[in-house]
């Protein structure tokens, strides 16, 4: 059972009690579980009010109120004579979760930027401009609005790395489907190489797209409309005579064919090309990713060699210390055994 209490302030104080269902063994497991749940919660429920909370409410306002109270109680001259540690004490303390808010904001922005980048290519540029401004705002916040945080060592960014990997995989799949399913990229290629004027010639220029619009539209018999979907007008006001046929975007057989409105061969060619594009695109992107990871390792080779040598030296020191301890114990046993032998009657 998980109870969550959410308060609308920039720290959005959350108190989570893990009862019965979750009992993490270590603090690291608790932090990973908490981080994952809060990320999913924020990812689903994020809305426009977050910007208002981030930029207008919270510690900017709280520090201003604190300074106002100090001026009223002690006056501006008295405040100027305070020692630096007392001035720092009047600032807002670092929240209990450290840089959790900063990481969460960047991860959410990374998701918004990458998942639908094919639909909105300007998103990375806007994110870059936002981050350039936010770097200065965060610097001002840490220097003038918050107390100095306590430093702590960390091996890496923890579960955030796994979340980034998951978002990256999701973004590749999403963009592949956006390009293949919602755009005309694949149908135009299929028409140019298979059904257009340049079919079988290996060309795909502008002249090869002549007749594409007509090939992408199917014919529908107006008399086949159901009663509930029948149009209110027969179109005589536009053409002077009632319309017998209309066109719609799809790849289907005409109404007088042996299988009326069945899928044409071109439909299956387009569908196969879309699926092939998704598979090829995903594998190509992942291969490039792994190639870059191989060419640019996380640790330089010389640093990795020094770490291995340091690990070897530590193991050797431990081995020598253990060997020395065993030799000392053996000497003591021999000495004790000899003394007992001399005392034997």
Kindly write down the DSSP assignment for every residue of 97-138, as one continuous string.
Answer: TTTHHHHHHHHHHHHHHHHTTTT-TTHHHHHHHHHHHHHHHH
Provide the 8-state DSSP code for 57.
S
Q: What is the 3-state secondary structure (H, E, C) of 24-49?
A: CCCHHHHHHHHHHHHHHHHHHHCCCH
pLDDT of residue 79: 53
> What is the four-CA torsion angle of 136, 139, 144, 146, rounded to 10 degrees?
130
DSSP 150: P
Q: Which residues in the chain land under pLDDT 70?
A: 1-21, 47-59, 61-64, 66-67, 70-81, 338-345
Cα maximum dimension of the chain: 137
Contact 299, 308 (CB under 8 A): no
Number of alpha carbons in the 13 Å side-chain half-sphere of residue 178? 14
pLDDT confidence of residue 76: 57
pLDDT computed for residue 274 by the predictor:
93
Contact between residue 102 and residue 160 where contact means Cβ atoms under 8 Å apart: no
Residue ranges per domain, the chain?
8-149+159-182, 184-227+241-295
Q: Please tell me the number of Cα atoms within 13 Å of 191 on its side-chain side.
A: 19
Tokens of 57: 């409410």
List the end-to-end C-alpha distance of the chain, in Å, as a whole number: 74
Q: What pLDDT score does 319 carry?
A: 92
C-alpha torsion sign, points 223, 225, 230, 233: negative
- Contact (CB, 8 A) for 43 and 167: no
User: Could you tell me if 119 and 179 are in contact, meaning their C-beta atoms sit under 8 angstroms apart?
Assistant: no
* pLDDT attached to residue 49: 64
CA angle 147, 58, 30 (to 5 degrees): 70
* Contact predicate 35/159, CB 8 Å: yes
Q: Which pLDDT score, from 0 to 100, does residue 257 have?
A: 87
Among residues 50, 60, 116, which one has the least CA distance to residue 91?
Answer: 60
Q: Which residue in 153, 172, 54, 195 sits closest to 111, CA to CA?
A: 172
CA atoms lying within 13 Å on the CB side of residue 197: 8
Hey, which residues does 92 pair with through a beta bridge?
Answer: 146
What is the reported pLDDT for 345? 45
pTM of the model: 0.63
Which residues share a beta bridge with 248? Answer: 218
Strand 217-221 relative to strand 245-249, pairing: antiparallel
Tell me which residue of 36, 35, 54 sits closest to 130, measured CA to CA: 54
């Amino acid at each position: 059972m998980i109870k969550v209490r959410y308060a609308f302030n920039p720290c959005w104080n959350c108190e989570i009690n893990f009862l019965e269902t979750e009992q993490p063994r270590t603090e690291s497991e608790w932090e990973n579980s908490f981080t994952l749940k809060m990320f999913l919660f924020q990812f689903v429920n994020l809305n426009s009010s977050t910007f208002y909370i981030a930029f207008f409410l919270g510690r900017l306002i709280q520090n201003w109120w604190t300074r106002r109270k100090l001026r009223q109680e002690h006056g501006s001259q008295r405040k100027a004579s305070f020692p630096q540690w007392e001035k720092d004490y009047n600032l807002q303390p670092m929240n209990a979760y450290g840089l959790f808010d900063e990481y969460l904001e960047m991860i959410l922005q990374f998701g918004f930027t990458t998942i639908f980048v094919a639909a909105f290519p300007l998103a990375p540029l806007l994110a870059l401009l936002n981050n350039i401004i936010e770097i200065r705002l965060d610097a001002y916040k840490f220097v003038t609005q918050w107390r100095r945080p306590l430093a702590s060592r960390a091996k890496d960014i923890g579960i955030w790395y796994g979340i980034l990997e998951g978002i990256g995989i999701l973004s590749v799949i999403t963009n592949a489907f956006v390009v293949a399913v919602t755009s005309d990229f694949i149908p135009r290629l299929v028409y140019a190489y298979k059904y257009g004027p340049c079919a079988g010639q290996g060309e795909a220029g502008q002249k090869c797209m002549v007749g594409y619009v007509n090939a992408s539209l199917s014919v529908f018999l107006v008399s086949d409309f159901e009663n509930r979907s029948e149009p209110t007008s027969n179109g005589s006001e536009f053409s002077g005579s009632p319309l017998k046929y209309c066109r719609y975007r799809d790849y289907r057989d005409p109404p007088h064919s042996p299988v009326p409105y069945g899928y044409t061969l071109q439909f299956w060619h387009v569908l196969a090309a879309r699926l092939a594009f998704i598979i090829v695109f995903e594998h190509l992107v992942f291969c490039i990713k792994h190639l870059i990871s191989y060419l640019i390792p996380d640790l330089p080779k010389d640093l990795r060699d020094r770490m291995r040598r340091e690990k070897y030296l530590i193991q050797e020191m431990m081995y020598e210390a253990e060997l020395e301890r065993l030799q000392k114990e053996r000497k003591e046993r021999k000495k004790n055994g000899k003394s007992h032998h001399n005392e034997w009657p």
